[in-house]
Amino acid sequence: KNQVEQSPQSLIILEGKNCTLQCNYTVSPFSNLRWYKQDTGRGPVSLTIMTFSENTKSNGRYTATLDADTKQSSLHITASQLSDSASYICVVSVDNAGNMLTFGGGTRLMVKP
Amino acid sequence: KAGVTQTPRYLIKTRGQQVTLSCSPISGHRSVSWYQQTPGQGLQFLFEYFSETQRNKGNFPGRFSGRQFSNSRSEMNVSTLELGDSALYLCASSPRTGNSGANVLTFGAGSRLTVL
């Protein structure tokens, strides 16, 4: 069964600190892995997309890594800001062109002043 | 550039009724996919439409259906509503270019359905 597991489920950090969110997947076949940020009451917004051959990708203060051998990914947030408070969802796609996605349960991040 | 527009944003129905949700994709995007988000199950893929044809389908009962029009706008319908259908229904559009990793999904804000 295709699964995407994220940890921790929730996390509280102080503004300015760094944090790392984890994602393990058992999805097969694997096409690409995506990280999304979802603010409360809004739709998810794409942060990064990585294919099998990519092992790191950055988007501003967000850096995602991918180890396709161990089927693990991480999202590192540098110098956190209050606006980073959101749910971060790891998503794995099984097909190249379509949008059949398997979603992780998300990590709820709260950044406190 | 307008984003993905979903209507209505909020609605309340009772068990046994049916509901239709609408999604207008970003101009030029031909793929529209639908997702259900609940606190217990998280986000789950419902189905994807491209060029008015359903291309992929998730593991949901036949009460959940959809369609896509020639202008790429899409609707999803849920018949015989159950309490467990209460959820945020998200629609996303993409160009669907066929290149791996190139299909960035742009999500709408969702339609929050409450079934009483």
Could you report the per-residue pLDDT of B35-92, keeping only the tens digit for each? 999 988 889 999 999 989 998 888 899 999 999 999 999 999 999 999 999 999 999 9
Instruction: Tally C-beta pairs within 8 A across A and B.
Output: 75
A47 touches A38 (CB < 8 A): no
Which residues in chain B have their CB less than 8 angstroms from residue A90's CB?
Answer: none
* pLDDT by position in tens, chain A (length 113): 778 999 999 999 999 999 999 999 998 778 889 999 999 888 999 999 898 888 999 999 999 999 989 999 999 999 999 999 999 999 998 776 556 788 999 999 999 99
Which one, of B65, B68, B59, lies nearest residue B93 by Cα?
Answer: B68
B22 CA: distance to closest CA in chain A (Å): 15
Which residues in chain B have their CB less than 8 angstroms from residue A34's CB?
Answer: 105
Radius of gyration from C-alpha coordinates of chain B? 14
Backbone angles phi, psi at B83, to 5 degrees: -55, -35
B92 touches B4 (CB < 8 A): yes
Q: Which of A36, A56, A99, A100 to mutate to test the interface with B (most CBs of B within 10 A)?
A: A99
Position A52 scores a pLDDT of: 82
Position A22 scores a pLDDT of: 98
Position B56 scores a pLDDT of: 85
Q: Cα–Cα distance between A99 and A94 in angstroms, integer?
A: 8
User: Could you tell me the strand order of the sheet in which A62-67 lies?
Assistant: A4-7, A19-25, A72-77, A62-67, A56-59
Q: Which residue has the tokens 């097969």?
A: A28
Which residues in chain B have their CB less than 8 angstroms from residue A99's CB?
Answer: 31, 33, 45, 48, 56, 92, 94, 96, 103, 105
Position B101 scores a pLDDT of: 47
Q: Give me the percent of chain B exceeding a pLDDT of 90.
A: 75
C-alpha torsion sign, points A57, A58, A59, A61: positive
| Chain A positions touching chain B (beta carbons under 8 Å) | 31-32, 34, 41-46, 49-51, 54, 89, 91, 95-106
Tokens standing for A55?
């092992």
Cα–Cα distances in Å, from A41 out to A26, A86, A87, B10, B87? 29, 10, 11, 11, 12
- B/e letters for A32-54, b = 16+ CB within 10 Å, e = fewer, are bbbbbbbeeeebbebbbbbbeeb
What is the distance in angstroms between the CA of the first residue and the CA of the last residue of chain A?
41
Contact A99 B105 (CB under 8 A): yes
B42 CA: distance to closest CA in chain A (Å): 6
Cβ atoms within 10 Å, residue B62? 6
Position A96 scores a pLDDT of: 60
Radius of gyration from C-alpha coordinates of chain A? 13
Q: Give me the percent of chain B exceeding a pLDDT of 70.
A: 93
Position A99 scores a pLDDT of: 65
Position A2 scores a pLDDT of: 76
B101 CA: distance to closest CA in chain A (Å): 6
Residue B108 has pLDDT above 60, yes or no: yes
Q: Which residue has the tokens 């606006």?
A: A83
Which one, of B26, B25, B21, lies nearest residue B8 by Cα?
Answer: B21
